[in-house]
Amino acid sequence: MNDKPVILVTRKLPDAVEARLKRDYEARLNPDDTLYSKEELIERARGADGILPCHTEHFSAEVIGRLPEEVKIVANFSVGFDHVDIAAAKKRGLVVTNPPDVLSDATAELTMMLMIGAARRASEGERLVRTGEWKDWSPAFMVGTQVTGKRLGILGMGRVGQVTARRARGFDMEIHYHDVRRLPPEVEEGAQYHGTLEDMLPICDFLSIHCNATPETTGLMNAERFALLPDGAIFVNAARGAIHVDDDLIEALQSGKLKAAGIDAYNNEPTIDPRFAKLANTFLMPHIGSATTETRDAMGFRALDNLDAFFAGDEPSDRVA
């Protein structure tokens, strides 16, 4: 008789992660990487002791209330857990974990790519080369914005924000940040703290978003706050699309208030506002901040560490509910 805990895995995971899952658990895998509907998720969870989902599955209060009683833990593969109603999970007694720390480097790398790609008009340039429309060179051809030496404002100085600041210092950028609390001086590494976002925005040549999506931060970057940025500033979001208001961001890009934007996180993913793709001054990625082999393996292993601790009767180190 197999007495291993049964784990429902909602998406196709890296091979190394699935191999460990099959070794230690009775794993219900998703080899075709099908996106389950709400009803499919609830039905497939029957008889499972735990679920290992991604941010593509939404655990609303309704879903949590309808999960089979035997489901005791949701061990997220994704670091963000805004797709889980934490209050409802706590009320039900459902343990929820995430895998922090492991994707900071990969996401910071992508942030720098977005920043440079937007500033140097990478999408426009690549299209010219691919379509054969590049005809000659002139001093006025494809002139962008230099990154080196500019002022970078970071909204949310957590793990990813701190690594992004370190990478940006390699471009001699002056680092400013806003968060709910100031970091110790040894962690700031010379970055300048601003007690309010409104105080920081007017000095940002570049603004990079690294805060979580919460009721307090949803829609934070709206028309009023975009207006506080210097003319020609560049906006980067590799965190969550909910932080910015689509209409207001698009208006700032169309009006020239913003010179450009590098975006990896959107509202209503993957059905994003089509106006973003039509703008020449956007550098767009399909939410791939953590998409390196090393990071995706590490995310899965960290989720499994949390499952291992829970089923051994220990407190998971990354519990959020």
In eight-state DSSP terms, residue 59 is B
Q: Which of 43, 189, 269, 315 is catalytic?
A: 269
* CB-facing half-sphere around the CA of 16: CA atoms within 13 A: 11
Q: Which of 240, 244, 296, 302 is catalytic?
A: 240
- Contact between 81 and 96 (Cβ < 8 Å): yes
Q: How far apart are CA 107 and CA 123, in angstroms?
A: 20
Burial class (CB in 10 A: 0-12, 13-18, 19+), 57: buried
- Contact between 137 and 189 (Cβ < 8 Å): no
Q: Which of 159, 176, 225, 287 is catalytic?
A: 287
Strands 151-155 and 6-9, by their bridges, are: unpaired
- Strands annotated E in 93-225: 95-97, 151-155, 174-178, 192-193, 206-209
Coil vs helix vs strand at 27: strand
Cα distances from 34 to residues 29, 41, 203, 272, in angstroms, run 10, 11, 45, 20
Q: Is 287 a catalytic residue?
A: yes
* Structure tokens, 170: 């390699």
Q: Is 269 a catalytic residue?
A: yes
DSSP string covering 240-302: -GGGB-HHHHHHHHHHTSEEEEEES--TTTTS--THHHH-TTEEE--S-TT-SHHHHHHHHHH
**Residue in the structure block whose two tokens are 């009683």:** 69
Angle at 124 between CA 118 and CA 129, to 5 degrees: 135
As annotated, the active-site residues are 240, 269, 287
